[in-house]
Amino acid sequence: MKLATKFIHAGAEPDPSTGAIMTPIYQTSTYVQEAPGVNKGYEYARSQNPTRKALEEALAVIENGKFGLAFSSGVAATDAVIKLLSPGDEVIAANDMYGGTYRLFTKIFEKFGIRFKYVDTTNPDNIKAALTSATKLIWLETPTNPLMNITDIAAVASIAKPGKIMVCVDNTFASPYLQNPLDLGADIVMHSSTKYLGGHSDVIQGALIMNDANLREQLYFIQKSCGAVPGPMDCFLVLRGIKTLHVRMKQHCENGRKIAAWLRGNSKVSKVYWCGFEDHPGYATAKKQMLDFGGMMSFELKDNSIEAARKVLSSTSLFALAESLGGVESLINHPASMTHASIPREERIKNGLSDSLIRLSVGIEDADDLIEDLDKAIG
């Protein structure tokens, strides 16, 4: 099945009782049972909901997986994966990652005895060198947030497989349209469905997709027991968003290409982080494992003072200064004080995330209007 057809029809079946083409929003907390323990597959909405079930089936389809699970946020989905581990287990994670993930690892799970090692995963040898008998999970982002680093998923999976180490890939920046980590050997794919899957900045949600039935049962038990589940209206919104993912991503990519090239040609910009440049260190890997290069990028000004960055951040009109990404509208972000503020400054600087770095989520507006907006802001 071609991509466009898959995204539109994934998880979609006409409602058997009415013929409704759109999945109904089952706004119910519980279900009537025919007799004690005899039901129609649904007992209580924390355990399962028909709208959520349709979404979870759609998530599996679009990621080329067998099982999908929906959570109340991307962080809740990440939380569920780490709860597979036990005190003393080790996780190898990318040293450039979403600040909320870093906060969850360091502030919540470290105190329960789970250890985290942060390495430059763009070189698989760094992962190999960090492995110990206690390593149970490798956590990847590719492209990374916000420096757009690329990790070879297949190479990492080949390192992990002999030791039966799980590989989980945060695929939020790429989306299932551009990249399918399960096809490359990953065990779990994580999404902040808030972003490209929802696509309209109107829902908070997360997702996990996997192929292994036992792994699915373990994660479903955590989902059900801990209760970080999305409501049916949120599931409906993400189901709706998935139907247009392919057309939105094409425009995000087209606009991203134009704006990255314009930024690189701007005399006041010193560096642009976008994995679609042929001289990007991860370009060959990105081209191999991604369909296109997306609409996420970061840049630094030649005047790398925080004051100059703040002036740009406060001077756009089409690019809204806000957290998040992946919506139809363009956003501008200051990672050091916003999405990555929870990472200590010395760690950010060591990993290449400067105080003056500016991140863009390029939307699907007219690219010329977006360029004009940036031009006026940069001055």
Residues 36, 153, single domain; the answer is: yes
| Residue ending a domain, choose from 243, 262, 297 | 243
Residues 284, 236, single domain; the answer is: no
Residues 43, 119, single domain; the answer is: yes
Closest CA to 211 of 185, 247, 187: 187
The enclosing H or E element of 4 equals helix 3-9
Main-chain phi, psi angles of 252, to 5 degrees = -55, -45
Residues 202, 323, single domain; the answer is: no
Residues 189, 86, single domain; the answer is: yes
Sequential pLDDT tens for the chain (379 residues): 898 999 999 888 888 888 899 999 999 999 999 999 889 889 999 999 999 999 999 999 999 999 999 999 999 999 999 999 999 999 999 999 999 999 999 999 999 999 999 999 999 999 999 999 999 999 999 999 999 999 999 999 999 999 999 999 999 999 999 999 999 999 999 999 999 999 999 999 999 999 999 999 999 999 999 999 999 999 999 999 999 999 999 999 999 999 999 999 999 999 999 999 999 999 999 999 999 999 999 999 999 999 999 999 999 999 999 999 999 999 999 999 888 888 888 888 888 888 999 999 999 999 999 999 999 999 9
Residue 161: active-site member: no
Give the CATH number for residue 274: 3.90.1150.10
Give the CATH number for residue 216: 3.40.640.10
Residues 155, 223, single domain; the answer is: yes
How wide is the angle at C-alpha 374 spanned by C-alphas 368 and 379, nearest 5°?
125
Closest CA to 134 of 92, 82, 101: 92
- The whole-angstrom distance between residue 208's C-alpha and the CA centroid of its chain comes to 10
Rounded CA-CA distance 223/102 in Å is 21
The total number of structural domains in the chain stands at: 2
SS3 assignment, position 269: strand
Which of 42, 46, 115, 220 is the catalytic position? Answer: 46
Single-letter amino acid, residue 13: E
Burial of 362 (0-12, 13-18, 19+ CB in 10 A): buried
Please, are residues 70 and 122 in contact by the beta-carbon 8 Å criterion?
no
Rounded CA-CA distance 205/330 in Å is 20
Which of 6, 195, 216, 257 is the catalytic position? Answer: 195
Residues 89, 207, single domain; the answer is: yes
Residues 332, 262, single domain; the answer is: yes
Range 318-338 burial, b when 16+ CB lie within 10 A, else e: bbbeeebbbbeebbbbbbbee
Give bridge partners of residue 209 from the DSSP assignment.
Answer: 68, 189
Residue 170: active-site member: yes
Which of 53, 83, 98, 216 is the catalytic position? Answer: 98
| Residue ending a domain, choose from 185, 215, 243 | 243
Residues 255, 333, single domain; the answer is: yes
Strands (E) located in the chain: 67-71, 90-94, 115-119, 135-141, 166-170, 188-192, 206-210, 269-273, 296-301, 320-321, 331-333, 358-361
Burial of 266 (0-12, 13-18, 19+ CB in 10 A): middle
Residues 178, 301, single domain; the answer is: no
Residue 177: active-site member: no
Contacts of 257 (CB under 8 A, 6+ apart): 276, 293
Residue 46: active-site member: yes
Residues 356, 253, single domain; the answer is: yes
Main-chain phi, psi angles of 157, to 5 degrees = -60, -35
Q: In what order do the strands lie in the sheet with 67-71?
A: 67-71, 206-210, 188-192, 166-170, 135-141, 90-94, 115-119
| Residue ending a domain, choose from 215, 243, 271 | 243
Contacts of 327 (CB under 8 A, 6+ apart): 195, 198, 199, 200, 201, 361, 363
Q: Which domain holds residue 177?
A: 3-243
Which of 170, 187, 234, 292 is the catalytic position? Answer: 170
| C-alpha distances out from residue 142 to 60, 72, 147, 189, 242, Å | 20, 23, 10, 11, 21
Residues 200, 272, single domain; the answer is: no
